[in-house]
Amino acid sequence: MKRQAQNEMTIQFLSRSSNEGFARTAAAAFLAQADPTVEQIYDIKTAVSEAVTNAIVHGYRDGIGTVKLTVRLFDDGLAEIIVKDRGCGIEDVHRAREPLFTTGGAERSGMGFTIMESFMDAVTVRSRPGKGTTVILRKRLTSRQPL
């Protein structure tokens, strides 16, 4: 059964690089209501930046499309972030998650998924070639202030 989020937000934006900073800042600002630590906020900003950059650089490598960012916060402090594009998709998700794998040339390190996995508790990737990619990031936030 699908869990009900305590709070949720969704934004949509064009796959322009100038929106990467906006997306990570928006996710972090929304989750600030859970009073996470500074380190947790940086972890989320970093992972969101990687997922959104992948959508922009790889998903829509041949043009401009729409990226959808959903952020959910649950009662137990779980943060769930979904980055979805309808771009070209990933042929081999397992290979794409390997360190140093990139189709983006010298401007990309091929470490995007490695960073997401290091900074979040769980990373799920669903993709279909020609249909798009959905990345789900999950992290349990611990409040700085005891309630």
Partner 1 sequence: MELQYEVREGRLTAWVSGELGHPEAIRLMAELGRMLEDHLPAEMALDLSGIDFMDSSGIAVAVQTMRRCQGCGCRFWVQGVPKQAMRVFTAGGICRLADIRPEVKA
Active-site choice (19, 24, 50, 80)? 50
Residue labelled with tokens 């990226």: 67
Catalytic status, residue 24: no
Catalytic status, residue 19: no
DSSP 38-89: HHHHHHHHHHHHHHHHHIIIIITTTS--EEEEEEEE-TTSEEEEEEEE-SS-
Among 62-70, 90-98, 115-123, 138-146, the segment contacting partner 1 (CB under 8 A): 115-123
Q: Which of the residues 66 through 95 are near partner 1 (CB under 8 A)?
A: none
- Per CB under 8 A, residues contacting partner 1 are 17-18, 20-21, 24, 39, 42, 45-46, 49-50, 53, 56-57, 99, 106-109, 111-112, 114-115, 118-119
